[in-house]
Structure 1
Amino acid sequence: MKLETKHTGDHRSSVGNPRLKQAYIGLQAWKKVIYSDPTNFTTNWVGSSVCSYRGIFCGPAMDDNTTTVVSGIDLNHLDIAGFLPDELGLLSDLAVFHINSNRFCGILPQSLSNLSLLHELDVSNNRFVGPFPSVVLSLPSLRYLDLRYNEFEGAVPSQLFNNITLDAIFVNNNRFTSVIPSNLGMSTASVVVFANNKFGGCLPPSIANFANSMEELLLINTSLTGCLPEEVGYLYKLRVLDVSNNQLVGPIPYSIAGLSHLEQLNLAHNMMSGDVSTGICVLPNLANFTLSYNYFCEEEGICGNLTSRGVVFDDRRNCLIGKKQQRSKKECDAVLDHPVHCHHFQCRQQT
């Protein structure tokens, strides 16, 4: 969401407005725990007219359009260092909170649970630590959650996927472990990015529950094992599927051939094998198909020359006879002599 509400610096200051008074207390408490502000962005956070503060956006209250409140905060890309004080919970009218690309550290305060109107929370590219910030599970209006590029660790709670309001979930590039929750598809998110964590386990069949919403699913480098479930092919709105750099085995589910909106499919750097079927290669919107560094042994029909269709295609380091830059016979035999039976793999579950 782009913050467009203009500052209203003098007409409705915090004088006589209890909500702006509360916002003033919260913002002043925050300023006291900002240790470095290299661009001096917060130097005008002085006085009670909080709507004139840089990065602070005001507008009419949702329950009373005659009352001005602080509705948004945007401190993106400012290299500010500090932490988030409990007093931020006083800004109960916040709808948007963006502080990405700074040096904020510590944990997200539990007082943020007071922000019942918050629908965008972006704390990405900072130095936050600790377990998954459970406070975000108590935000009833949240639609956009961005926690990427921090130092959060431990399990991602299954409750996150019980939230039917969330549209975008970014938890990539943290230190999350355990497994991907088995109730993964209970939310209605259109974008989910798990990349660059250490989840392990396999992609649960419940992914099928995302069928009516999922458009982008990125699971790059998440230590996934087992086979891709056939249920991936039920995500009929999917445009981007990236499961590269994992330990996936087995064939490409033929159900993927039904994803008519699919534009990007990246299976690279796994241990997948079998045939690459024509049904996938003729998908009408396919623009980029990468299957390099696997053990595929045959490309059906047009799959052998996808570049002729204008598709960006990479099939290096497989077991494709007659193709250049393939694995050695010894490498291929070591894997292909032990065919994978996907029904033997069982997901470890987390509820």
Structure 2
Amino acid sequence: MMKKKKMRFTQLLWCLLLLLGFGFLAEAILDPVDFLALQAIRKSLDDLPGSNFFRSWDFTSDPCGFAGVYCDGDRVLKDLRFLAISRNFISGEIPASLGEVRRLRTLDLSYNQLTGTIPPAVGSLPELSNLILCHNHLTGSIPPFLSQTLTRIDLKRNSFTGSLSPASFPPSLQYLSLAWNQLTGPVDQVLLRLNQLNYLDLSLNRLTGTIPVNIPTVDLSYNRFSGQISPLLSSVENLYLNSNRFTGEVPAIFVERLLSASIQTLYLQHNFLTGIQISPAAEIPASSSLCLQYNCMVPPIQTPCPLKAGPQKTRPTTQCNEWRG
């Protein structure tokens, strides 16, 4: 469903909850307040191309016959499981009243203009499985999420701050994206309990620490991770460690797995790495990508790097000496 005109989120949510969350009388003549709520929803939203969801909403028949409206006698059932209002111009704060929709499983408010924090009541939803709030203007810290069926959290491109608490995320998580925020502090204890992750994106924050889990795709670029690269990360298929403060040599296990095509992406550019044991004659498999430029070494092998890596092959010697202390 696409938005016709700008509406504050609290207004739209009030209409939706009135319709689906709390029920209304459906007698011969519908209550005027409920009738206006239905009209507000219908006038504010259009079907997506190819969809006829709203065709039955002609207001000449019993509202219990409308698509998406389920009644028991003269009342609408509480059956709101999926709420997706993405890619609109919704502004304002996320209302805490969403926490009253206890059976909500998917909440997608992405690509809007929402501000404020995530209400703790949303984090307390017991059956939440998918939370997608990316591309908004949300601030504050990330609250604990209590649902033990939560598998996907996407909060990228907001302005969240503070450190991550081990209690913030349940072990059921499979997808976690917190990129493009202002998060700080270590991530070690948070990730130790997330043993079902298959996608992790913490890029463009100010995070530190080590990554103790094996995940197919890990993006830690543009952070403040330092020290030597852990060999444990060699099990990752797509690894983005660029634009950090890693030092020392690249562990040999990474070269072995890269040449065997077990690693498909290995981005190490813009660090302070001093060497990698790989032959200049080595052939990188066509399915794999390696970028080493702008470190404290002369890259022994020339491989294609992304354009944003810049043209410089090595980091200035003065920077490398300063980093070594």
Is residue 296 of structure 2 the alignment partner of residue 289 of structure 1? Answer: no
3-state secondary structure, aligned to 2:167: helix
Judged with a 3 Å threshold, the aligned counterparts in structure 2 of structure 1 residues 336 and 112 are, in CA distance, closer, same or farther, namely closer
Separation in 1, partners of 2:205, 2:244: 11
Check the 8 A contact 1:58/1:71 in 2, yes or no.
no
Aligned counterpart, 1:249: 247
Pairing 1:21-40 to 2, within 5 Å after superposition: 21-22=21-22, 40=44
Aligned counterpart, 2:154: 146
Check the 8 A contact 1:276/1:296 in 2, yes or no.
no
Check the 8 A contact 1:23/1:90 in 2, yes or no.
no
Separation in 1, partners of 2:257, 2:226: 24
Aligned counterpart, 1:108: 118
Separation in 2, partners of 1:144, 1:23: 29
Aligned counterpart, 1:174: 181
Separation in 1, partners of 2:113, 2:153: 19
After alignment, is 188-197 or 82-91 more displaced?
Answer: 82-91
Pairing 1:111-126 to 2, within 5 Å after superposition: 111-126=121-136
Number of residue pairs matched by the alignment: 272
Aligned counterpart, 2:269: 268
Check the 8 A contact 1:196/1:220 in 2, yes or no.
yes
Q: TM-score under structure 1 normalisation?
A: 0.65
Aligned counterpart, 2:6: none
Identity of aligned residues (%): 17
- Give the partner amino acid of 2:265: Q
Check the 8 A contact 2:159/2:182 in 1, yes or no.
yes
Judged with a 3 Å threshold, the aligned counterparts in structure 2 of structure 1 residues 82 and 335 are, in CA distance, closer, same or farther, namely closer
- Give the partner amino acid of 2:121: S
Aligned counterpart, 1:320: none
How far 1:179 moved relative to its partner?
1.9
Judged with a 3 Å threshold, the aligned counterparts in structure 2 of structure 1 residues 216 and 186 are, in CA distance, closer, same or farther, namely same
How far 1:287 moved relative to its partner?
2.6
- Give the partner amino acid of 1:132: I
Where does the alignment leave 5 or more consecutive residues of structure 1 unmatched?
Answer: 1-17, 61-66, 307-311, 318-323, 341-351
How far 1:106 moved relative to its partner?
1.2
Separation in 2, partners of 1:133, 1:293: 38
Judged with a 3 Å threshold, the aligned counterparts in structure 2 of structure 1 residues 195 and 52 are, in CA distance, closer, same or farther, namely farther
Is residue 243 of structure 2 the alignment partner of residue 197 of structure 1? Answer: no
Separation in 1, partners of 2:125, 2:98: 9
Judged with a 3 Å threshold, the aligned counterparts in structure 2 of structure 1 residues 144 and 314 are, in CA distance, closer, same or farther, namely closer
- Give the partner amino acid of 2:291: T
Judged with a 3 Å threshold, the aligned counterparts in structure 2 of structure 1 residues 112 and 284 are, in CA distance, closer, same or farther, namely same
Check the 8 A contact 1:276/1:298 in 2, yes or no.
no
What do residues 94-148 of structure 1 show as CA deviations (whole Å, max 9, x unaligned)? Answer: 11111101011111122224522211000111111111222x2x12210000111
3-state secondary structure, aligned to 1:178: strand
3-state secondary structure, aligned to 1:189: coil
Aligned counterpart, 1:228: 229
How far 1:229 moved relative to its partner?
1.1
Judged with a 3 Å threshold, the aligned counterparts in structure 2 of structure 1 residues 189 and 23 are, in CA distance, closer, same or farther, namely farther
3-state secondary structure, aligned to 1:231: helix
Aligned counterpart, 2:172: 165
Judged with a 3 Å threshold, the aligned counterparts in structure 2 of structure 1 residues 285 and 94 are, in CA distance, closer, same or farther, namely farther
